[in-house]
Chain A
């Protein structure tokens, strides 16, 4: 989609010959990407369409003969149920808090990596990337054990902090439980954001910085007026990827609380209806609603930033 948008100025200004070349490149592009596109359709479009279809039925896996077409009734049940809205609220809380903190932390880490001496750079990058390389389930267990009342070390290490005692049950109420879940999320995925932002940082031309310095701009001014505006696309990619990722949070909640104490998120709700309750119709409807939410989030972020990724790559 973005490719078409990029072509427009080229078509109006470039000579006939270049336009043909562009068209040939575009055709080649389709030929190269085509097979992958078909495979992607088969493995994503088919399950999505099937879920949409199943969501129109009252269908329990243990009783396939009683399957009954109910139209949009499953959606009506979900959208009028406080359980769904609570799960949406918790999920959005996780998205907003984790993505905001990760952006700031990730940017700081990207600056460190960007400015680090060339000899130190690989070591720093590796160290920063380690949490991201850990499987989410494993990291969730690590955080669970660290904070658990019987096996955790956090209570004894931080007993000097007001409010933390040897009997603090981190997973015993909503506030502390969701905090640990979000901390684990932030620890695990900040490296990912920092890598994306590092790519953005390295695209900001040095001469712009030099010009700003010559004009007497301070470090903060250079950051706000030069660096950040020039890496808008990278920030958007980081924000988009992480927001969608955070919206689909599952592992941490599954391992740490299983949705207890009001920590249920939308993916976990879909899992429980479909896999645990075997209510394929209702569960599919929840999944479809999660999918629609993801589309809304991506469109909102893309609109908000008003950035064309292809343009940002310098293809114009």
Chain B
């Protein structure tokens, strides 16, 4: 509530400035400039970092947070509408990597100056830097970086003869193991971004990519999903749906649904982000799950498509971007640089379960203690396959969802070709989506 009152106050100041009552907009002479940071909902970790950096700034600036909608598309929609209207109320934003290119291409993000850029990218995971870059310029500061692991019940994997701790597994082996043990693999087949993330990871792991030239204009974008890699990805999804190892609710299952399924009796394997580890630990503390279940959980890198080849796990996370319409861009950039120090990333990782984008954070004892799989996460981040880094990612993703959903209808001969036709026509402005 306090945040809202504050935002309204700032808006009023901005309006006053626009009509000429005040010579300069916010900041004012009465106190340090205020950086309003639009954050994705978490358990309070970003607010905590805002307070810490305000203190560390020693009066140079102060950071207040404002809350964005819960899901990434909702965050995108709100930010896009406000930035299109050049809303000066937004200074700093927590951005999902999927729409950094779109916002940067629209001219809504402030370029990060070289000195800060060098500082915040030094040693950071390459994928985090790549998604924060547009047209060879850093337009966002890597904050946390997400990836998916294979979570499994050790007892079931052992029964199935899988040595997941030491040997990489392929999708084929995983499906066979699930079949032999009459158990499920918890996946994300819902017609949402989560499904596009899975499709992209499969295509990338098969050595392909969905878009060949992601930085091209809309009408020149070349889709390359109708390829051997695309067909291999489709074969895996088709097999999972046809054999029923994804469970009866696969076509409506998101990340949380997958976790609930895994927590139940019927599933022994799950592909999911590391938030599940924090959530399952919390459920054990509350007495909703048993210690035995927790002790039986193992983790391994994302499954490969072909034996002997590395998988390219999904990449997610959050980067911090400064609005091009901010009245205090310098203060916002300084604030971003403070927020993303490896120490702060480690604290945020340990508290929220959101992995850091800087490898140094993984050496933190608190992180090692809370996330015994930290090394596997870091290794996965280094191998991660990015989603197409294009300003038209929303069209690509929705086009994939429209043609590949439901998983049971995926046909390797037809689906990748349909996706190519639909997305290409949509990008050329010839079709609805």
Contact = CB atoms under 8 A, between A and B. Distances in A.
B406 A277 contact: no
Interface in B233-251: 248-249, 251
B12 interface: no
Contact of A258 (B106, B192, B433): B192
Given A172-B248, A269-B432, A62 B406 contact: no
Contacts of B251: 169, 171-172, 260-261
A42 interface: no
B429 A83 contact: no
A78 B190 CA distance: 26
A150 interface: yes
A58 B190 CA distance: 31
A257 to B, nearest CB: 8
B249 A276 contact: no
Contact of A63 (B106, B249, B394): B106
A77 B432 contact: yes
Given A258-B191, A276-B398, A277-B395, A169 B248 contact: yes
B174 to A, nearest CB: 22
A297 interface: no
A275 B252 contact: no
Interface string B416-433: 000000000000011111
Contacts of A277: 394-395, 398, 433
Contacts of B406: 172-173, 260-261
A276 B191 CA distance: 14
A15 B73 CA distance: 67
A113 B260 CA distance: 45
Interface size range on B against A: 20 to 34
Contacts of B106: 62-63
Contacts of B81: 61
B219 to A, nearest CB: 11
Contact of B249 (A64, A150, A273): A150
A78 B432 contact: yes
B77 interface: yes
A64 B84 contact: yes
Contacts of B394: 276-278
Contacts of A149: 248-249, 252
B260 A150 contact: yes
Interface in A129-175: 148-150, 167-169, 171-173
Interface in A56-86: 58, 61-64, 77-78, 81, 83-84
A173 B261 CA distance: 20
Contacts of B433: 83, 272-273, 277
B207 interface: no
B391 interface: yes
Contacts of B432: 77-78, 81, 83-84, 269, 273, 282, 286
A62 B391 contact: yes
Contact of B429 (A58, A148, A167, A258): A58
Contacts of A276: 73, 77, 394, 398
B80 interface: yes
Contacts of B77: 275-276
Interface in B205-255: 248-249, 251-252
B408 to A, nearest CB: 8
Contacts of A258: 191-192
B249 A61 contact: no
Contacts of A77: 429-432
A259 B433 CA distance: 12
B358 interface: no
Given A62-B103, A172-B251, A277-B395, 11 more contacts: A77-B431, A83-B431, A148-B252, A169-B249, A172-B406, A258-B191, A260-B251, A260-B406, A276-B73, A276-B77, A278-B84
Interface of A: 58, 61-64, 77-78, 81, 83-84, 148-150, 167-169, 171-173, 258-261, 269, 272-273, 275-278, 282, 286
Closest 5 CB pairs of A and B: A260-B191, A149-B249, A62-B106, A167-B248, A83-B432
17 contacts: A58-B429, A62-B102, A63-B105, A63-B106, A77-B429, A81-B432, A84-B432, A148-B252, A150-B261, A171-B251, A172-B406, A260-B191, A272-B433, A275-B77, A278-B80, A278-B394, A282-B432
